[in-house]
Amino acid sequence: MTPPQPPAPQPTPQPAAPLSPGPQPAAPLSAGPQPAAPLSAGPLLVLDAVSKRFTTGRTAHTAVDGVTLAVPRARVLGLVGESGSGKSTLARLALGLIAPDNGTVRFEGHDPHRLRGRAARPVRARLQFVPQNPGGSLNPALRAGSAVALALAALGVPRAARAERTAALFQRVALDPALARRYPRELSGGQLQRVAIARALATGPDLIVLDEPTSALDRTAQSRVLDLLAQLRQDDGVAYLLISHDLAAVRHLADQVSVLRHGQVVEQGPTDRLWQDPRHPYTRALLDATTTATTTARVPARVLRPSATAPPATAATAPPPTGPTAPGPTAHH
């Protein structure tokens, strides 16, 4: 074991989502006991000029190319773009599953790629993932309830309390707790996705990264899962990075939207503005395609999305930072 390290530096409160949070020392989470939560007044998640290349054979491909975005606390950032635009790669970067080649990723001031080991668990628990294919993310040999109970066990919830907490989480996602005894193959796609959401909620997350959470579901299950996500968000104040090529889903939930094309953000702004006044031709094309494809689909009512009394700040709309916390220029500007 490496010796205990001093606490991670408290990020200075910032007036709004900064384009670049400035140089920050890497959070030393992998090394020794840490305070539970260096809460920051800035956004929960900040990606600053992040790039990721993949090399297959002799060809290098830039999947994510200088992306800057921020997810404020209790807000929903939608990330849209066609297949291959780099959305899942961004999700993996945000979750720390892969490291960027350039740029920085910070979740509550920590580099998520370095959130490893027991000491990092309290922070790790606050950053959760709901994948596209819930069947694939659940162990087929484990009952649905055990998948949730294991997440509770990892948090240190005593065995005696796990069954009750699991049942409560099933109820939270509108699943009959009796389904906890079923194996994944005995559940529908919509039910599986609810189990995945229950498992994500088990750790009390501040942010859930959802990568195409409804695209494997039929339309009825899609609506129900979207309504559930809206409800959870309203009740718990959990933030989402909602990745989808389904713009109706994003419109239903997101406060802000970033449009990704060929690994680059071509436009970002408040959801309503983007729909009413798309400025980039690519955004317009995406919206046109969706309008055509979903004219017969039920577009869910947006009543559950809290109205933007205090519009969330994102990189695109943030006023320029002032004072000593103003970030310095970054290489990509």
Smallest gap from residue 296 Cβ to Mg ion (A): 25
Give the C-alpha separation, 237 to 208, whole Å: 11
Q: Which does 61 bind (CB under 5 to 8 A by kind): Mg ion, ligand ADP, none?
A: ligand ADP
Residue 132 found at the interface with ligand ADP (CB under 6 A): no
Smallest gap from residue 68 Cβ to Mg ion (A): 20
Task: Using the minimum distance from each CB to ligand ADP, give the nearer residue, 265 or 304.
Answer: 265
Task: Using the minimum distance from each CB to Mg ion, give the nearer residue, 87 or 126.
Answer: 87
Please answer whether residues 46 and 17 qualify as being in contact, where contact means their C-beta atoms are separated by less than 8 angstroms.
Answer: yes
Please answer whether residues 184 and 135 qualify as being in contact, where contact means their C-beta atoms are separated by less than 8 angstroms.
Answer: yes
Task: Using the minimum distance from each CB to ligand ADP, give the nearer residue, 83 or 309.
Answer: 83
Smallest gap from residue 243 Cβ to ligand ADP (A): 7
Report residue 166 as tokens: 């699991």
Please answer whether residues 34 and 8 qualify as being in contact, where contact means their C-beta atoms are separated by less than 8 angstroms.
Answer: yes
Residue 205 found at the interface with ligand ADP (CB under 6 A): no
Residue 83 found at the interface with ligand ADP (CB under 6 A): yes
Residues 6-45, one symbol each (x = binds ligand ADP by CB under 6 A, - = not), give ----------------------------------------
Q: Which does 81 bind (CB under 5 to 8 A by kind): Mg ion, ligand ADP, none?
A: ligand ADP
Smallest gap from residue 89 Cβ to ligand ADP (A): 3
Residue 261 found at the interface with ligand ADP (CB under 6 A): no
Amino acid 121 reads R
165 CB-contact burial (10 Å; exposed 0-12 / middle 13-18 / buried 19+): middle
Residues β-bridged to residue 102: 51
Radius of gyration of the chain (CA): 20
Helix (H, G, I), strand (E, B) or coil at 267: strand
Q: How far is residue 99 CA from its own chain's centroid?
A: 16
Which of 19, 29, 45, 63 is the binder for ligand ADP (CB under 6 A)?
Answer: 63
Give the C-alpha separation, 210 to 233, whole Å: 13
Size of the chain in residues:
333
Chain positions contacting ligand ADP, by CB under 6 A: 54, 56, 61, 63, 81, 83-89
